[in-house]
Structure 1
């Protein structure tokens, strides 16, 4: 699985002009299941993100996790994280999981983040979503569950 994690002071997701999820301080997690991914990759990535120490401590150093600060996570599916731009000008997405596997793993991943003790808001898989955020820092981190990443 691939994730783009952003430390935010707030974030929201809207579908058809209706806000369906929002958080205050926490993490916006854009997530993509790749071909061959299983629940094991989702487990690994959820645990890593929950423990990721990217929030400032009393001395201003990135030393606290989202759980430490009692923050939340907004989790949004984004298959375009699988983009292959190595040929031509139009990205290919053949390495993304099938829609069925992608949705199953997206929901499973969100549940695993919740099981880590982090309140979760979500987007809607497959929907045309509008995501708004205030990236704090800015802090943006690319994560991949693949062993060679």
Structure 2
């Protein structure tokens, strides 16, 4: 499996915690590799007012350290019922966040499973800023 180390690192971060209000934290985890090769991690935080996906959490850690450019990203979730681990593609909010942090992130590799990646550019349809109408 080509991306085994990244997937395993992310899987090691999964620590689901259910709050008294029924919200779930930490059931999705992400690892980002910056353009300089540093790794940053994060987990999801599901709140009623505003949730934070694991990908944005990991990117926030990267930004905290003064880095803005991604090389690679993976997010994972483990099914509590079956124990199976799943690689998750980033949601639309996370895709746009990555793009807005640095336009160069459009060329970052997004891990889709053990073997496949796509660039963020490939995952965002019509990602180029439009030209003028006339």
Question: TM-score range with shorter-chain normalisation?
Answer: 0.3 to 0.5
Higher relative contact order, chain-length normalized (CA < 8 Å, sep 6+):
1
Higher helix content, 1 or 2: 2
TM-score by length of 1: 0.34
TM-score by length of 2: 0.37
